Structure 1
Amino acid sequence: MKTILAYGDSLTWGYDPEGPGRHAPEDRWPNVLQTALGGKAQVIAEGLNGRTTTFDDHVGPADRNGARLLPTLLTTHAPLDLVIIMLGTNDMKPFLAGAAIAAKQGMERLVDIVRGHSWPLDQEQPEILIVAPPAIRETGDPDFAALFAGAIQQSHMLGSLYSDLADVAGCGFFDAGSVAETSPLDGVHLDAANTRTIGRGVEPLVRMMLGI
């Protein structure tokens, strides 16, 4: 059986904008992907609300810097056959980075971390799949509108920037915005139907990358 690490933020954790709360396990996209793969792979979900690619954000109770924690998780869950990274939305916060190019550079750093990791058990490097999150949208929620002020246009640039990075770095690429859209309730998160759609949408590419 193959082992996949899904590394992400609240979209991977399963934040429900209708709650706020958390989607049922069967609705979270990593679990939907695992089910779709029909027992041929285990998908380990490592989602954290507010996680960035490489930027510090100390307003939450956990370390949100994706670059700092990734090496620990790579070793924790090794051996791995595939690492899926879907991050960048929180980088759009104006008090962190506020620019798609910053998220792209952060994603490049995460790819370098996976490629340069000192893997236990002499395992081979896993494949890497970069996923661009669905774009941020207008919302009537005052807190989320303020948190992501000016971020809508920048978030629409993530797909093309991540695609270019994947080509250069030799990674797989999937644009989650091609199959899902964020909820107008907060402009950032996904309802149950859209998070399920990501799990189903990425399945054929995962199968191809892993040869299953």
Structure 2
Amino acid sequence: MRYFIEQKGESRSFPRGDAFLAGACAAADAEVAIYLGAPVVADAGKAAVLVELTTECLAEHADEAAAESRNILGFARYRNGELPPSNVVELVRFPGSDARAIDAAKAVFEAAGLTVVVCADQPGRILDRLLRPKYNAALRFLDEGLASAEDMDKTCKLGLGYPDGPIERILRGGLSHHYDVTQALFETYGTPAYAPPRRALAAARRGGR
């Protein structure tokens, strides 16, 4: 399925040089419109209109109650800090989203070798809602002296079969980045599990150092 891209600034999902950017065609020839950092434009003539999200909701870009929004979907390719993006795309839908738009969006991303999961329009989507409380707990346990970072990571890798441990994953992505994400979730939900731990807060105040 052919797609065109309207981009303003850098994209976290598809950074400069990503092969997906090179696969775009002219707007007039496209069946799917993709907006990366650019204001979304409703277009009922497209199979789907996709807008890249960061920590915000799709509802900040489109009115979910409007008929013109039925083919507008949000998406984010999961990325840990400034590391290369993963192959997982979280596709965000409204309750009334057209199933044909979802199918079209999945077809575009899957043709590029990406795996698509679908979720409701909620801050944090699937991965950050699941991961950030676990990362926060690991950082708090480290402060409490439960074990060293090395031993906590080793336990998760050898005991649970994880490819890496929580502390090393947080540090690779950056404590400051973790703070930004978990603070946004804490402000939205007020759940203590999302409250940024001391180390993340300190890193953010140091400017990420």
Based on CA coordinates, which of the two structures has the bigger radius of gyration?
2
What band does the TM-score fall into relative to the shorter chain? Answer: 0.3 to 0.5
Higher relative contact order (CA 8 A, sep 6+): 1
- TM-score of the two chains, using structure 2 as the length reference: 0.33
- TM-score of the two chains, using structure 1 as the length reference: 0.33
